[in-house]
Chains A and B, each alone.
Chain A
Amino acid sequence: DQQVKQNSPSLSVQEGRISILNCDYTNSMFDYFLWYKKYPAEGPTFLISISSIKDKNEDGRFTVFLNKSAKHLSLHIVPSQPGDSAVYFCASSYAGGTSYGKLTFGQGTILTVHP
């Protein structure tokens, strides 16, 4: 039962262009959504997050959009840089005792930014 899905295993983008990574979820209880970036042999690094009471959050080159009715979120990176090449995971959680410390992750999308 995959509650968080990233349907694109990989994405290739030219430097300077926009990267759009997508994520779908099925659990209506989720109210926090996060994006993490992961390099090989390292742990995931937090990028940006959004609460279900918002539909957009920006931090520099990174913007996350949330469409609650479609249970869909996306991460936009503008402009993309070669150093952005990594695996990107979306993750979800919800308030409440049964979710303490627990993030539910998607399978990840490998982003490659070409110079």
Chain B
Amino acid sequence: KAGVTQTPRYLIKTRGQQVTLSCSPISGHRSVSWYQQTPGQGLQFLFEYFSETQRNKGNFPGRFSGRQFSNSRSEMNVSTLELGDSALYLCASSLGGTGLGGYTFGSGTRLTVV
């Protein structure tokens, strides 16, 4: 059974640019959540999508957005990149987005903003 796949693994962007990250969930999983991990703030929840609808959102500015497609694959977009956006971006998939132990994480995309 394939795991959660995130692409690309590494990315270097310049301040002011925008970036799109991709996440393919485990087959059958309809919920995809996104997290940002930084040394200072730890793992912070960005948003969650289920059946192409955003059901939950964390405390991030509007520059951070996402979407989910009918095959449950999800993308997140960050516009007008800032140096502080440098982080490891993780996505996690689950069947329904609630419950114990149901979240499987991908290996992440390491974004560096210069």
Contacts and interface: CB of A to CB of B under 8 A. Distances in A.
Interface in A28-71: 32, 34, 36, 41-46, 48-51
A50 B55 CA distance: 24
Contact of A43 (B32, B49, B58, B105): B105
A100 B92 CA distance: 12
A45 B50 contact: no
B100 A102 contact: no
Interface string A69-109: 00000000000000000000101010101111111111110
> Residue among B58, B99, B101, B104 with the most chain A CB within 10 A?
B101
Contacts of A103: 33, 43, 45, 92, 103
Given A100-B97, A108-B42, A46 B104 contact: yes
Contacts of B103: 34, 46, 103
A45 B42 contact: no
Residue among A43, A49, A95, A99 having the largest count of chain B Cβ atoms under 10 Å: A43
Nearest to A35: B101
Interface residues of A, number: 29
Contact of A100 (B6, B50, B101, B110): B50
A100 B48 contact: yes
A93 B96 CA distance: 14
Contacts of A105: 35, 42-44
A89 B43 contact: yes
Nearest to A57: B100
A95 B101 contact: no
Contacts of B45: 101-104
B70 interface: no
Given A93-B98, A101-B32, 5 more contacts: A32-B100, A49-B100, A100-B55, A101-B97, A102-B56
